Amino acid sequence: MLGLIQKTGRLVFKWPHKWLDEVFGNSLNPLRHLGSLTIFFLWLVLVSGIWITIFFHTSVDGAYESVEYLSNDQWYLGGVMRSLHRYASDAAIVTLVLHLLKEFVFNRYRSARWFSWMTGVPLLWLIIPLGITGYWLVWDQLALYVALISSEMLDALPIFTDSMARNFLSVESLSNRFFTLMAFTHIIGLPIFLVFGIWLHVFRITRPIINPPRTIMAGALLSMLLLSLVYPALSQGKADPAAVPESLALDWYYLLVYPLMKTWPAGAVWLLLIAISLLLCLAPWLPPGRKPAVARIDLENCNGCERCVEDCPFGALEMAPRSDGQKYAAEAIVLTNLCLSCGICVGSCPTATPFRTRSVLSPGIDLPDQSVAMIRELVTDAAQGLKGKQRLLIFGCDSSTKLYDVNDAATAVIKLTCMAQLPPSFIDYILSRELADGVVLAGCANGDCQYRLGTQWTQQRIDRERDPRLRKRVDIEKLALLWTEPWSDFLNPGAAVTAFRNTLVAAKEPSVAPKGHKVLLRPVGVALAWSLFAFAAGVFTLWPPFSQLETGNAIISLTFSHASQRVKQCRRLSQKELNELPPNMRKPSDCPRERYPIKVSFRADNVLMYDQTLLPSGFWKDGESTVYNRIELAAGSHELFIGMSDSGRTEGFDFSNRTSVTLAQGQHLVVEFDHQQKTFVFK
């Protein structure tokens, strides 16, 4: 089931991936740099954000105008910065989601990778509120909607006693202090946590790719600038609590769940979010897999040279003080819970060479399930079966080309976990002993290595740029490196192998230069790809529009708090009762603090629209009861009635009021309780 989902996912990734490989070239394909591309977009957000902050007024009255100033009077700079700020945030969500999906469909999140995956999930919980608070600060119609719904959601949490949502229904009650708090959260609070979170997410793996290649950065920046100039980010009219716009342009990347609040109770929305997060957190163990045996150190053959530590892509190796009394200072140790059993460390260990035929072939570090000695045996066995003049020995990793069907008398395939598991001396061994006429290493394309750095390390070892180096005497012409895409399990690799076999005869490099017309088309493809990306990062900021209200409706908000009467009257204590109390507790009267619940009914044209009993807040049930409800009503004339009882009576009301109103479309009528006059008012 899981396998099927992942396979389908790979199929979906395949076509854009292939196309972009052709346009950008393998290693500059943005789809291979999604994590670092996300970081780059966050840099853009940071830089443009600093510019906006300089001009921003942190007050209810000033915020909107200060942002308008940027967009109108300073459109060429401030306006562009503002648009960049918005669109780069949206682009970050696009790349982030693709990053998550890609790790998922290529199965790079299970086993020891759980840490990277798990630390990714909180990043979602930081970046989404970051966007939401950003939209809040503009203080336009969208901001009002965001503020209202966010507050409704927060009110559903048992943290705040008073209703926050009530704040946003009238501008007078919205304090500058609260607005400042929002600005602080957006500009300083959340970003600090996000930076720390990203650091936690990547610090543990070896050499994380933090910056994408320059050309990708340039493309990303230009596409965002283009989008900013063509569709500058604009506000949607100053926030006006007295009106509800019929239709809003929602940024769906950040506000996807908000429209749910129209029909779902806040509790259900929270449950959905928590369920998704839990599912994501638990994904690495769903279903629990069997962990292959991890790398093991053989101290007899380890002198503490640290090469394995340098090459492990997952930070699963460490140096420790020598424990066996040999004359060395240090030894390598495996952190078993981080080890993915990729074998890359084995390929780096200097004592892992098949030429060791006198001593037991046991390197300093080895994989118990597929040791170097076992690989050598596989090689010898396979070689014995090979016939013909161009005998090929192919090493294939299970994550790239599935070479099952390459099956003829002159070809043998040996499966490894990762190409970098093979010490380069094996190639020398095979060719010098004429066990085969050619060797093929078939692994994952660079940037998409299932074990992150395996391809890179192998290529560098072959190129004599990394230890252990391939020895000079090896004839490179007899070696082919076949770095293929992770969806190659859909391809037939036979053709590539045949091509290499033919080059063995011709002893020439296979020509890989693209044909003429392709060279010309490349810039067009690059431009097209980035334009498409800009479109994808922009389109859902406006479309589809969201309507808060059915056309022709108005909104009525019931919003007030009220302290009801106490259940028991105060009573003077008698002298006898006083004497029984300890002296420090003596007081003249006993006042039980508990209050009655309040009962509120609202009718429109004699139809009951709202009828609730609300408990007093506080542990002792001695606080105010809070009413907050939004009711949609068709525009036109209505008879409205509101009643409330606060004395525990079951019949009738202690306070009530009625009125006739004519509601305009999109009008927002607020029903409050005036505590001085002790009466309801319609505003």
Partner 1 sequence: MALLEWKQAFSVGNASVDHEHKQMIEQINQLYELLGQPTTAVTIEAVLGDIHAYISAHFALEERLMRTAGYAEYENHKDDHEDLLDQIHELMFSFSENPDIGRKLLENKLSDWFGRHFASFDARLHRELG
116 binds, among ligand SF4, partner 1, ligand HEM, none (CB under 5 to 8 A by kind): ligand HEM
341 binds, among partner 1, ligand HEM, ligand SF4, none (CB under 5 to 8 A by kind): ligand SF4
The tokens describing 469, both together, are 């180096």
Residue 112 binds to ligand HEM (criterion: CB under 6 A): no
In eight-state DSSP terms, residue 76 is I
Residue 208 binds to ligand HEM (criterion: CB under 6 A): yes
Residue 205 binds to ligand SF4 (criterion: CB under 6 A): no
DSSP alpha helices (H): ranges in 283-338?
A: 307-311
Buried b (16+ CB within 10 A) or exposed e, 531-547: eebbeebbebbeeeebb
Q: State the nearest-atom distance from the C-beta of 317 to partner 1, in Å.
A: 14
Cβ proximity to partner 1: between 357 and 584 the closer is 357
Residue 331 binds to partner 1 (criterion: CB under 8 A): no
Residue 307 binds to ligand SF4 (criterion: CB under 6 A): yes
Identify which range of 21-29, 118-126, 231-239, 460-468 contacts partner 1 by CB under 8 A.
Answer: 460-468
| Helices then strands, each counted (H, E), the chain | 19, 18
382 binds, among ligand SF4, ligand HEM, partner 1, none (CB under 5 to 8 A by kind): none
127 binds, among partner 1, ligand HEM, ligand SF4, none (CB under 5 to 8 A by kind): ligand HEM
Phi-psi region of 571 (alpha: psi -120 to 50; beta: other; left: phi over 0): beta
Q: State the nearest-atom distance from the C-beta of 681 to ligand HEM, in Å.
A: 47
Element (H, E) at 519: helix 516-538
Cβ proximity to ligand SF4: between 20 and 453 the closer is 453
CA nearest 209: which of 331, 346, 333, 116? 116
Determine which residue in the list 355, 490, 543, 620 makes contact with partner 1, applying CB under 8 A. 355
Q: Which residues pair with 563 in a beta bridge?
A: none
359 binds, among ligand SF4, partner 1, ligand HEM, none (CB under 5 to 8 A by kind): partner 1
Residue 303 binds to ligand SF4 (criterion: CB under 6 A): yes
Residue 597 binds to partner 1 (criterion: CB under 8 A): no
Residue 454 binds to ligand SF4 (criterion: CB under 6 A): no
Helix axes of 2-24 and 516-538: crossing angle, nearest 10 degrees: 120
Determine which residue in the list 67, 81, 84, 123 makes contact with ligand HEM, applying CB under 6 A. 123
**Binding-site string for ligand HEM from residue 35 to residue 64, where x marks contact by CB under 6 A and - marks none:** xx-xx-------------------------
Segments of 563-665 assigned E as strands: 571-572, 589-590, 598-604, 607-614, 625-634, 636-645, 655-663
Work out the number of other CB atoms within 10 angstroms of the CB of residue 71. Answer: 19
Q: State the nearest-atom distance from the C-beta of 345 to partner 1, in Å.
A: 13
209 binds, among ligand HEM, ligand SF4, partner 1, none (CB under 5 to 8 A by kind): ligand HEM
> What are the residues whose beta carbons fall under 8 Å from the beta carbon of 303, sequence distance 6 or more?
326, 328, 364
Q: State the nearest-atom distance from the C-beta of 45 to ligand SF4, in Å.
A: 34
Work out the number of other CB atoms within 10 angstroms of the CB of residue 587. Answer: 9
* Contact in structure between 100 and 24 (CB atoms under 8 Å): no
Residue 56 binds to ligand SF4 (criterion: CB under 6 A): no
Identify which range of 13-21, 102-110, 245-253, 617-625 contacts ligand HEM by CB under 6 A.
Answer: 102-110
In whole angstroms, what is the distance from residue 69 CA to residue 2 CA?
52
In whole angstroms, what is the distance from residue 246 CA to residue 378 CA?
72
Determine which residue in the list 351, 371, 400, 459 makes contact with partner 1, applying CB under 8 A. 351
Sign, CA torsion 299/302/304/307: negative
* Contact in structure between 329 and 399 (CB atoms under 8 Å): no
In whole angstroms, what is the distance from residue 295 CA to residue 317 CA?
9
Cβ proximity to ligand HEM: between 199 and 404 the closer is 199
The tokens describing 125, both together, are 């919980």
Q: State the nearest-atom distance from the C-beta of 116 to ligand SF4, in Å.
A: 13
Q: State the nearest-atom distance from the C-beta of 245 to ligand HEM, in Å.
A: 32
Determine which residue in the list 55, 125, 231, 328 makes contact with partner 1, applying CB under 8 A. 328
| Number of shown-chain residues binding ligand SF4 (CB under 6 A) | 28
Q: Cα torsion for 333, 336, 338, 339, to the nearest 10°?
A: 80
Cβ proximity to partner 1: between 37 and 309 the closer is 309
* Contact in structure between 257 and 678 (CB atoms under 8 Å): no
Sign, CA torsion 525/527/530/535: negative
Q: Which residues pair with 632 in a beta bridge?
A: 555
Residue 88 binds to ligand HEM (criterion: CB under 6 A): no
Residue 103 binds to ligand HEM (criterion: CB under 6 A): yes
* Contact in structure between 165 and 559 (CB atoms under 8 Å): yes
> What are the residues whose beta carbons fall under 8 Å from the beta carbon of 38, sequence distance 6 or more?
92, 95, 96, 99
The tokens describing 180, both together, are 């400042």
356 binds, among partner 1, ligand HEM, ligand SF4, none (CB under 5 to 8 A by kind): partner 1
Identify which range of 175-183, 209-217, 324-332, 560-568 contacts partner 1 by CB under 8 A.
Answer: 324-332
C-alpha R_g of the chain: 34
CA nearest 92: which of 37, 28, 16, 154? 37
Instruction: Give the footprint of ligand HEM on this chain (CB under 6 A).
Output: 35-36, 38-39, 96, 99-100, 103, 108-109, 113, 116-117, 120-121, 123-124, 127, 198, 201-202, 205, 208-210, 280, 452
Instruction: Give the footprint of partner 1 on this chain (CB under 8 A).
Output: 301, 303-307, 327-329, 350-351, 353, 355-359, 364, 428, 432, 464, 467-469, 471-473
Instruction: Give the footprint of ligand SF4 on this chain (CB under 6 A).
Output: 294-295, 297, 302-308, 312, 314, 316-317, 332, 334, 339-345, 348-349, 351, 364-365
